[in-house]
Chains A and B, each alone.
Chain A
């Protein structure tokens, strides 16, 4: 399934009447008037919902004499939620590029010659800068507080604030006075 199909399906299912229609059709095939009678909704409302369900592939229809009969389509529900959530977006690479450009811009604005000029007020920007600074730490290695201070003091004079913020942002974890990169 494409991301667009997943979105359309989720939107379509987030409606009580459509869920009730699907529940009925999962038990037996039905035509509009029968569904309307069973669910106490007008035939026009049922038709409206069925068309939406049909668009997502959740139901299919076929003609039987004078009636158009609707059937539940189980195939679409065999995808797990995880599979649907993990569906790739065609715009993902574009989004990544935009994100990378934004990071570059923030770093260029707040850092000069490898030193932090100031801590931005915006959390998002601060996070980007802290992530950049956290690159000096090696994953899996333990650091004493003094080692941490020495490393981050190269970036900013108020290294205590930086250290605390890195812990708060969960870039570093502190346990028994020992720091580790997350």
Chain B
């Protein structure tokens, strides 16, 4: 399981770097809004990379504890984004709406990948 956690840390890092590289490319191509959206995605991967690292440290090598900590963060952190999304929809703020939706989609991508990892570890 520890090995899978390391793999997942690596996955988050690779995704973050891919988003950053894409953001740089978009910036050079004068597509600043799309660049900023990629930066948002990169930031989400970064946040959860940090959370995974904190979870691993706090658990003292207990993979189960680290996993629980990370799953909890996957639920709690996006709560405020959901509230922001609802407010943005209510006020017709499509820019904020796009950003919040993207954050939540990215979290779902991370959750899905993490679930795949857990499944693989049980096999």
Contact = CB atoms under 8 A, between A and B. Distances in A.
B32 A15 contact: yes
B30 A48 contact: no
Nearest to A50: B94
Contacts of B37: 45, 48
Given A48-B94, A48-B98, A51-B94, A16 B33 contact: no
Interface in A18-70: 44-45, 48-49, 51-52
B119 interface: no
B33 A48 contact: yes
Q: Is the interface of A mostly helix, strand, loop or mixed?
A: helix
Contacts of A97: none
Interface in B30-55: 30-34, 37
Contact of A15 (B30, B94, B98, B101): B30
B116 interface: no
Size band of the B side of the interface? 10 to 19
Contacts of B95: 48, 52
Size band of the A side of the interface? 10 to 19
A14 B29 CA distance: 11
B30 A14 contact: yes
A44 B101 CA distance: 10
Interface in B53-92: none
A45 B30 contact: no
A52 B33 contact: yes
Given A14-B32, A16-B29, A49-B33, 4 more contacts: A15-B31, A15-B33, A17-B33, A48-B37
Interface of A: 14-17, 44-45, 48-49, 51-52
Interface of B: 29-34, 37, 94-95, 98, 101
11 contacts: A14-B30, A14-B32, A15-B30, A15-B31, A16-B30, A17-B33, A17-B34, A45-B34, A48-B37, A49-B33, A52-B95
- In order of increasing CB-CB distance, the 6 nearest A-B pairs are A16-B30, A51-B94, A48-B98, A17-B31, A16-B31, A16-B29
